[in-house]
Every structure is written in structure tokens, then in C-alpha cells.
Structure 1
Amino acid sequence: MMWPSSQASKVLTVLLFSGLVYCICMDTFLFLRIQNYRIDAFENITGNLTHDTTTAKSSIRPNYEDVTWIPCSINPLCHPTVKALMVDHINHFIYGPLCAIVDIGLGISDRMLFITPNMISFFHVFVAFLGAKLLTCQSLAARRFGIVLFQLRMFLDDLDGHVARERKHIKGERSEVGTLGYWVDGICDLIGVVAMMIGILIYLKNNPPRRGYKGTPVSTLPYHQLKEINSTEDIEKDHQDNGISYKTKVPFQRIVQVVGLFSGQMVLSSLSWNRYIDIYQELLENCTEYDVVRRETIFKSGVFFSATGLWRIVNPHSYLHALSLAVFCDKTWCFLKAVHFTGYLFLAAAVGVSEYLVENLKSYVMDGDGR
């Protein structure tokens, strides 16, 4: 191990708690920023017969750039967009500013023009292959280093998008659907995720979890009370004084089933997440012929913020962060077992809420019949 387990647990607990508080605070600041300051997507855009109203409303709200003490070049709150509201917390509030700092320090966007966003995408595929190889190792220290590499991969995935937007002078997170960079980025992400899942599958195949009886002698415990545990637990002794006995390895077919169901969640989450980003962008940011006041009202509403907030939790990047934490804590099988079915329920809830919102949003923005 990289350090004693007790010390590692304390460090991880402090980091997780600090990260949770930080993300909640940043979400709160993001909502207040949207409510009280101008938004780029609705500035200098005229809606149908609403130009005077829009100008009057916009003149009342101050520019966020004029009041914030953190430069907008690294401030994730400066340019809220549809995609920014749906990006997971770590990528938006941690990796995003770090990408900006690295870009400013190295001058990738303005001086190192020979480094293209696609080159960064290809490089993080290479990093993913190295990380996947380490995830197959029996050593926990090696697997933890593999997770560090996968987090580096996710950072580089943010960096390629940041560099692409900077060179095109695009403010805020946006998906440029259909462009070459869009497809290259998507394919490279897919390869990286597949590599991670294959690495985990190989590790579980070579070090299968154990299924056994816990807490009661084997002869008296019903079959339905079997408990599956991590292969790293003490399984050398079949019988203990307290009646615990670990005996049977989980079949490889069962491992494939659990990993496959989790991978299915990743696929559905990715498809749904991108679908709603495209829909919301088209209705609220791209189609300038729709009434600008109505679009801005939707964007600023608490309902829209809450609905997009669901995707900050169940988008594919959040899945990967949670899985990375499980591998780092040596609880890979426990995590996969816990979410391989229940994760679909949360995903279905997010899709249901989003579909309902899309229908009402279209009615309000396009037809003017909503409230």
C-alpha cells in the first residue's frame, strides 16, 4: 500500500468532506451569479418584439466581471452556459480552473500552436492505456497509481476542450455538435472509458471476489444470506471462532454481468446527457428567433437549475469519478454491486424529469403557452 490504511482513510475522509462542502458552496454561488448578473448568451440578442424590454432588463443587472475579484480567465462562474450547468462538479469547479491556469502558464492556446486539441485527445488515450494496465495489477499501490493516471486523463480531456474554445474565442462551456473536434473528443473518451472497464474486468477475473457466509456458522445460515466481499479481505481461514467462513469465488460470468450492467449505465448516461445538452442549447442559446426574454427566464429559473443539476450527478464523468474513488479505496466490487441495478433508477429519474421539462420549455419558448 502507498500508506497505512488507517491514515489513508482519514485523509480520504477529510478530502471527501472538504470536496463536498466546496461543491455545495460553488453550486450556491453559481445559482446566485445566474440570478443577479448578466448572462453572455442573452446579451446583444433581440427577440421577437422584445428588444426594448430586453435592453431595459439588461441595463439593470451589473456585469459579473466587474464585481468578481477572481479573473474570469480562471473563474468557472463567469460564463454560465447550458453545458456548464450540466458538467459534473469536479470537471467544472476543479479541473476547469486548473486547465485555465496550465494554459496560461504554458501558453498552449496562443504560443504553442503546434499542440492541437486533437493531439491532447490522442495523448490522453495513451495515458488511459497505461492506467488500464496498472488497474490489472494485484498491488493496491499500482492500482491507485492507475487511478491517478485516469484522473490525469480526465484533466487532459478538459484541457483539449479548453484549448479549442480559447483558440476560437468561445466563452464558457459549449458542445459544437458535428465538428471534427466533437467526434475526435467523443471517440477518444470512449476508448479511455473502455480501457478502464477492461482493466477492472481483468483484475476481478484474476482476483475474483469471494462469496461466503458471514456472522453465523455455515450449517445454520440460509442460502439467501450469502454475502459477497472483496478478494483483498482475509480469506485464508475457512472457519473462524465467530463462525465466519469465506469459501466460494464469484463466477466470472457474474463478474461480467455486473461490470456489463455498470457499463450500460455509462452508455445510457452519456447518450442522454449529450442529448439534453443539444436540446437545451438549441432552444435557449442557438435559436435567436425565439423570444429572448422567455429564454432568459427559463435559464434563470430554479426549476431549470435543479433539472440540469441532476445531470451534474448522473452524467458519465460523475460515474467515472465515483468508480475511481471505489478502486482507490479497494472497494471496486462493493461499488459495482451496489449500483449495477440501482443506478438505472437514478438515471431513469433524471431522464423523466428532463423529458417533462423539455416539453414545457418548448411550449413556453416556442409557442408562448407556458407559464
Structure 2
Amino acid sequence: MMWPSSQASKILTFLLFGVVVYCVYMDTFLFLRIQNYKIDTFEREENSTQESTTHKSTKQQNYEDVVWIPCTINPLCHPTVKALMVDHINHYIYGPLCAILDIGLGISERMLFITPNMISFFHVLIACVGAKLLTFQSLAARRVAVVLFQIRMFLDDLDGHVARERKHIKGERSDVGSLGYWVDGICDLLGVIAMMIGILFYLKNNPPRRGYKGTPVSTLPYHQLKEINSSEDIEKEHTDVGISYKTKVTFQRIVQVIGLFSGQMVLSSLAWNRYIDMYQDMLENCTEYDVGRRDGTFRSGTFFFATGMWRVVNPHSYLHLLSLAVFCDKTWGFLKAVHYSGYVCLVVTVAASEVLVESIRSYVVNG
């Protein structure tokens, strides 16, 4: 191990608690910022039509005028549909860090030879190295792999930041259908596949074990012995010595659990991108719809709550949780805990989003 488990547990617990408090704090201030200050998307449209359809927004201040953190690194300055649906780590931690790195190195302005697609390809290479390290039996090597995968996710955020800066786009937005959109999506998919393959090979070479306590196998009644031997997710590996028996999880069971978890990530990614596209079309891209209705919908608590569900149930959040499980050497326990329950959370989130989409369509699109 890289350091004593007790020390690692204390450090991880402290860091996890700090991150959770920070994210809740930022979510609260994001909601207050949306409620009390002008939103760029709708403010520009009102100014261009020469008549305000939202009397409230004319009395609101610009957030940039009152905040002390520069908007170049402040994740609260430019709220958009996608910004409300991006996971907490990417939005509140990696996003500002990308902006700071870009300002320090001048990637967007001076290093024009570095394209967003080049950054995307590079983080695929990092993912391949991390996947190889994930197959090692050494926990220290797997922890290094987790660090590499977090760097990969940081670079995945950086390529989008550089692309938006060079196009002078404020806030998180998805340029659906563009070359960069597809390159970023494919490279992200390859990185995830590499991670899952690395975990699969590690579990294949180091199968988890399940323990059975009781009397020696030789003295067990026939019906109990039959019950143990017929368990579909274990191999028979018993001894007649002692009172505790451990059985290996079969490779078939490992593939099943990883497959179910991967299926969650695929469905989550498809649904997450679908609702971002739909919300953007109805609230941000279609200027023919009434700007007051779109502005009011965007500011509503219902919309903030529904998009907030996607901040938790999206593929990036899955990867962060999986990375934490690998770092704590609890990979199999985490996969088993969510390979079914995760689908329930995903179905609930999709159902809430469908209801909200119909509500927005009725109120904004159909008037």
C-alpha cells in the first residue's frame, strides 16, 4: 500500500467531507445567483428587441459587477443549461482549474498549435496507461492509475474550455453535431472503455472472495452443502480445516456486474446529452420563443432541481465514484452496490426530466 490504511482513511474522509460541503455551498450560491442577477442569454435578447418582456430582469444587477472573483475563473458567472447539468467536480473544481491553467500558459491565445482535438487524443493515451496500471495487483499502482484517470477527466474539461475560449463563447454549451463534439465524445468513450477493461482484467486475475462462517464443510448437513455448491456467482473452493470458508467470485459474474454498470453509464450518457440538447433548443437557442417565459423557466426552482438530479446521475459522476472506490480498494463492493440500484436512480431522473420537458414545451413552445 502507498501509506497505512488508517492514515489513508482519515485523509480521504476529510477530503470527501470538504468536497461535499464545498459543492453544497456552491450549489446554494449558484441558485441564488440565478435568482437575483441577470442571465446573459436572455438579457442580450431583451436588449436587442428594444422592449423588455421581463420587468424583473431590468432591475437586476450584473453578477460581474458585484462578485469579487473574476468571471474568467468563476464558475457561477455564466449559468447555462449545460452548466446546470455538469457534475460538481468538473464544474466547480476542474472548470476553474482549466481557466487558471489557460490564463497561465496562454493555450487559447498564444499556443494556437495546440487544438482541442489534440488535447482529446492525448487524454486517450493517458487513459491507456492508467488502464494498464489498473490491472496491477499493487494497490499503489492502482492509486496512480486513479490519479491518471482524474488527469484524463481534467483534460477532457480543458479541451472544451479551449474550444469555447477560441470561439468567444461564455459558459458551458454543447455544440451538437460539430466535429469537435463528436471527437470529444468518442475520445471520452475510449477513455471509459479503457478504464473498464483495466478493472475487468484486475478482477479476473484477483477475483473477489465471499466468506462463509460455520462448521467445517465435512460436517455440514447435505442441504446446506448443496446450497453453497449451487450458488451461481461462486466457485467451489472449500477445505476441511477451520470454521471459515471463502469462495471466489466467478469470471462470468464479474463480467455481468461490470456489464451492468457499463450499461448504466451508456444509458446515462445518452439521456444526459439528449436532455441538454432539448433544454438548449427550448430555452437558449430558439429566439422565436417568448424570452420572458424562457427566462422564468430557467430561473424556476423546479428546473434547478430537475437539472440538479443530472449533476449526480451522469457518466462523469459515475466515474468519480468509481475512481474513489478503486483508490480505497473497494472496487468490487461499489460495483455490486450500484449495478442494479443505479438503474432505479436513472429511471427516476429520466421520468422527472420527461415531465419537465412536457411542461416546458407546453409553457414556452406552445404558449
Report the TM-score when normalising by structure 2.
0.93
1:53 aligns with 2:43: no
The answer to whether the 8 Å contact 2:94/2:157 transfers is yes
| 3-state SS of 1:138 partner | coil
> Kindly tell me: are residues 47 and 217 of structure 1, through their superposed partners in 2, closer, same or farther at Cα, counting changes over 3 Å?
farther
Q: 1:265 Cα shift?
A: 0.2
Q: 1:43 Cα shift?
A: 1.1
- Distance in 2, matches of 1:179 and 1:284, equals 20
Aligned pairs for 1:69-108 within 5 A: 69-108=68-107
Please name the residue that 2:189 is paired with.
Answer: 190
1:180-208, Cα deviation, whole Å (9 max, x unpaired): 00000000000000000000000000001
> Kindly tell me: are residues 53 and 198 of structure 1, through their superposed partners in 2, closer, same or farther at Cα, counting changes over 3 Å?
same
Mind listing any 5+ residue stretches in structure 2 that lack a counterpart? none
Q: 1:249 Cα shift?
A: 1.2
Q: How many residues align?
A: 359
Please name the residue that 1:153 is paired with.
Answer: 152
Please name the residue that 1:253 is paired with.
Answer: 252
How big is the alpha-carbon RMSD for the aligned residues of Structure 1 and Structure 2? 2.3
The answer to whether the 8 Å contact 1:47/1:293 transfers is no
Q: Structure 1 stretch 33-42 or stretch 206-215: which is displaced more?
A: 206-215
Please name the residue that 2:281 is paired with.
Answer: 282
Query: What letter corresponds to residue 23 of structure 2 in structure 1?
Result: C
Q: 1:211 Cα shift?
A: 2.6
Identity of aligned pairs, percent?
74
1:226-248, Cα deviation, whole Å (9 max, x unpaired): 8999xxxxx999865xx4321x2
| 3-state SS of 1:192 partner | helix
Query: What letter corresponds to residue 362 of structure 2 in structure 1?
Result: S
- Distance in 1, matches of 2:336 and 2:26, equals 31
Query: What letter corresponds to residue 51 of structure 1 in structure 2?
Result: E
Please name the residue that 1:244 is paired with.
Answer: 244
- Distance in 2, matches of 1:238 and 1:267, equals 45
- Distance in 2, matches of 1:345 and 1:15, equals 28
Please name the residue that 2:6 is paired with.
Answer: 6
| 3-state SS of 2:210 partner | strand
The answer to whether the 8 Å contact 1:118/1:181 transfers is yes
> Kindly tell me: are residues 239 and 3 of structure 1, through their superposed partners in 2, closer, same or farther at Cα, counting changes over 3 Å?
farther
1:133-160, Cα deviation, whole Å (9 max, x unpaired): 0000000000000000000000000000
Q: 1:270 Cα shift?
A: 0.1
Please name the residue that 1:335 is paired with.
Answer: 334
Please name the residue that 1:367 is paired with.
Answer: 366
> Kindly tell me: are residues 239 and 107 of structure 1, through their superposed partners in 2, closer, same or farther at Cα, counting changes over 3 Å?
farther
Aligned pairs for 1:309-320 within 5 A: 309-320=308-319
1:112-139, Cα deviation, whole Å (9 max, x unpaired): 1110000000000000000000000000
The answer to whether the 8 Å contact 2:238/2:245 transfers is no
- Distance in 2, matches of 1:111 and 1:48, equals 33
The answer to whether the 8 Å contact 1:238/1:244 transfers is no
> Kindly tell me: are residues 168 and 238 of structure 1, through their superposed partners in 2, closer, same or farther at Cα, counting changes over 3 Å?
farther
Please name the residue that 1:39 is paired with.
Answer: 39
The answer to whether the 8 Å contact 1:307/1:353 transfers is yes
Aligned pairs for 1:296-315 within 5 A: 296-315=295-314
Query: What letter corresponds to residue 261 of structure 2 in structure 1?
Result: F
- Distance in 1, matches of 2:156 and 2:208, equals 32
> Kindly tell me: are residues 250 and 322 of structure 1, through their superposed partners in 2, closer, same or farther at Cα, counting changes over 3 Å?
same
Query: What letter corresponds to residue 5 of structure 1 in structure 2?
Result: S
Q: 1:212 Cα shift?
A: 3.0
1:55-103, Cα deviation, whole Å (9 max, x unpaired): x433200000000000000000000000000000000000000000000
| 3-state SS of 2:211 partner | strand
- Distance in 1, matches of 2:155 and 2:349, equals 28
1:311-358, Cα deviation, whole Å (9 max, x unpaired): 000100000000000000000000000111110000000000000110
> Kindly tell me: are residues 288 and 6 of structure 1, through their superposed partners in 2, closer, same or farther at Cα, counting changes over 3 Å?
same
Query: What letter corresponds to residue 340 of structure 2 in structure 1?
Result: F
Aligned pairs for 1:128-147 within 5 A: 128-147=127-146
1:177 aligns with 2:172: no
